[in-house]
Amino acid sequence: MTTSKEHGTPTFQVVYPGQPGDAPATLRNIAHRGGAMNPSVDALRATFGAAILRSEVVWGDTTVYVERAKVAEICAWLQGDPSQSYEYLVDVTAVEYRDAVRAIEVVWHLRSLKFRRFLRLKAELPKDGKTPLAVPSVWAVWKGADWLERECFDMFGIRFEGHPDLRRILMWEQYKEGYPLRKDFPMRGRFSRSEQLKQALAANPEARYSMEELSISDAFEDLPTDMRSRLLGGEKTGE
Amino acid sequence: MATATSKRTIEVALSTTGLGPDGKPQRIPLGAEGLTRAAPALEPEFEGEHMLINIGPQHPATHGVLRLVLELDGETVVRCIPHVGYLHCGFEKIGEYRQYNQIIPWTDREDYLNSMGNNVAYALGAERLFGIEITPRCTVLRVIAMELSRIISHLVWLGTTCIDIGAFTPFLWSFQERENVYNLLERWTGARLTTSGTRVGGMIADVPEGWTDQLRHFIATFPKTLDQVDRMLNKNAIWVGRTVGLGVMTPEEAMNYGLSGPMLRASGVAYDVRKDFPYLDYETYDFDVPVGTNGDVYDRFLVRQEELRQSVRILDQALQRLPDGPVNVDDPRVILPSKTKATSEMESMIHHFKLVMEGPRPPIGEVYVPIESPKGEKGYYFVSDGTAKPVRWRIRPPSYVNLSAIPKMVEGHLLSDVIAINASIDIVMGEIDR
């Protein structure tokens, strides 16, 4: 970072994606399966060995299946290693198939701006009743994972271990019906309309702030006495 | 406008209208030392006393149903906790119960300022999943559609941000021009906001007779409005004073937070999906990617202003090269046969029946196709198990990820600057909550 002389405005060096001389073009006639594999896969195999389970190329994109417990380590390496330089986390999401036994997959879409590469990482969570629905968080590697992981937790119930603030984001904190994007969740929701209405009417309208917010400041002291005692008694707030 | 020699213009093209004598953009700090505008020292007896302030969800400056809970020390933001989800409709869940063409109306309604762009993005993703190559005329028409929705989105951003910061006139100008674009879209698709303009393998319709002349008229007159806005705002002391040095993100931070679109480029990262992962033959168009070097609200404004001009350039080239020919692919797997054929030929009737009753079926596979939406990198991730409905249809929402960096951007700034910073993110709650 340099500083211009006139107003002390900090200015940044411009970061260009890709290598000099590259001229990427629109992809055409992509094969359904097969095709050039992302070179990062070989580098991953050389570095992590058995933690890289298998890889495939579908419609031009490379997918790598990795061991669940090693995800954070692999991501940190992919982001930090100068030969990989995946400095951009595109997306974190999950896929549950309509198959009752097929594993739930957690999907990370990574992008290297430096090399103009795209890589899809996947970790499988078998539905055997024994494997916990949990994967390591990559929040420490990319801050952009914060809300993406929270959404994935909210919608699928997958816990991201190491996430600093893993709570529901799109649904409200006291939502009790489960995880909406799971295949066993009916489109209309789990509860009947009357039950949903009953819960909505029973919500405490004066408690507009979450416990976390109330605890961060002196505002707690300004609350009405009865509300303060209820909160101290462990009652949850919520809309 | 400066003619750029390189593919990417830095600073020079950005600041053509606000140039100082040295060729640098003119910045006029409003008497403040430096640019971060630290809050004045507090009265000793108030020091350390924090206040909790709630903005939204029903507040005109939060651009929808965003709710921000701010912890204030005097007027300085100590901590910001955003709450989203008030508009959650479960689009991704609904998509799992719909056929591929039936999902297109939902894409209008998430980022509703960029509905045509979303339609195109959706169709591009679905077509890769089906393995379809679209026709040359369709390719150019889709470029026109995407750039028109970019213009709409940036104009709404400009207008609402001006209102937030206190300028009323540019709002009227930009909404007037937006009306012209909506008239164009209405003639093409029959709808203004919820266009549903694409189908898997083509478009809902070809452009009507005389439509290109109307578009030519628009791109001839529109830059004049942009010049007016530039004259009004670029060197305006109030505008500059309320935007310079606010919400600064360094290039490293911006990439780490996953920012995209004008937010990322204002921070000095020249990443544009149209250049770096081209689609729709964008590599054959001559346009520049504006890049800021300060990463503040003012640079985001400049980047978007320049993107509007570049969109006009792309539209001009697209109009020149618009080829004749069919709009839809000739593929009975996805495109309905004509009414005459369906009632006179046995095979066409069967195709028609199967397409309507069962829907097109892609092979097993998954795709993620990103596009450059006005907010940033938008992509649809499809997972297909070979049936007519996707197993998973995921929206990669650029403004959701951009908004997640708001605590980082506002902390340490004044309460009134929160409004300007929030406006600069260009959020659409329909896309964030989905």
ipTM computed for the complex: 0.84
A72: in domain: yes
- Smallest Cβ distance to B27: which of A7, A147, A180? A7
Concatenate the DSSP letters of all residues of B8-57 into one string: S-BSTTTTGGGB-TTSSBP----S-STTT-PPPPPPGGGTT-EEEEEE-S
In this prediction, residue B166 carries a pLDDT of: 84
pLDDT of residue B185: 92
CA distance B51 to chain A (A): 6
How confident is the model at residue A231, as a pLDDT?
65
Q: Please tell me which residue, A175 or B289, carries the higher pLDDT value.
A: B289
Is B1 part of any domain? no
**Partner-chain contact B27 A9, CB within 8 Å:** yes
Of the candidates A146, A168, A185, the beta carbon closest to that of B404 is on: A146
Residue ranges of alpha helices (H) inside B234-361 are 237-243, 251-256, 262-266, 273-276, 297-321, 339-344, 346-357
Residues of A with Cβ-Cβ distance to B131 under 8 angstroms: 30, 32, 59
B184 to chain A, minimum CA–CA distance in Å?
27
CATH code where residue B220 lies: 1.10.645.10
B145, part of any domain = yes
Chain A environment of B394 (Cβ under 8 Å): 91, 93
Within a domain: residue A6? Answer: no
B40 belongs to a structural domain: no
The pLDDT value given to residue B93: 92
Nearest CA in chain A to B9: A14
Using the predicted structure, report yes or no on whether residue B336 has a pLDDT greater than 90.
no
Report yes or no on A13 lying in a domain: no
Look at chain B and report how many structural domains it folds into.
Answer: 1
The overall average pLDDT reported for chain A is 82
pLDDT confidence of A237, banded at 50, 70, 90? Answer: low
Is A90 in contact with B258 (CB distance < 8 Å)? yes
Residue A130 lies in a domain: yes
CATH value at residue A137? 3.30.460.80
Question: Which residues in chain B touch residue A120, judged by CB atoms under 8 angstroms apart?
Answer: 368
**What would the mean pLDDT of B113-123 be, rounded to a whole number?**
92
Residue A129 lies in a domain: yes
Give the per-residue pLDDT at B34: 46
Tell me the residue range of the domain where B411 lies: 16-34+53-433
Check whether A71 has a pLDDT greater than 70.
yes
The residue range of the domain holding A152 is: 32-172
Contact flag B94-A142 (C-beta cutoff 8 Å): no
Q: Is residue A64 part of a domain?
A: yes
* Structural domain count, chain A: 1
In a domain, B190, yes or no: yes
pLDDT over 80 (residue B226): yes
The predicted structure's pLDDT at residue A205: 55
Contact B366 A58 (CB under 8 A): yes
* Residue among A91, A116, A145 whose CB faces B396 most closely: A91
Would the pLDDT of B147 be above 90?
yes
Looking at residue B143, what is its pLDDT?
Answer: 94
| Residue B381: exposure state from Cβ atoms within 10 A (0-12, 13-18, ≥19) | buried
B48-94 pLDDT, tens digit per residue, is: 677 778 887 888 888 888 888 888 888 888 888 888 888 898 899 99
Strand bridging mode A134-136 / A159-161: parallel
Question: Could you tell me if residue A25 is inside a domain?
Answer: no
Q: B362 in a domain, yes or no?
A: yes
Query: In the predicted model, what is the mean pLDDT of chain B?
Result: 85
Residues of chain B with pLDDT > 70, as a percent, come to 89
Residue A102 lies in a domain: yes
CA distances, A239 to each of A24, A217, B123 (Å) = 49, 20, 38
Confidence of residue A177 (pLDDT cuts 50, 70, 90): confident
Whether residues B277 and A209 touch (CB distance < 8 A) is answered with no
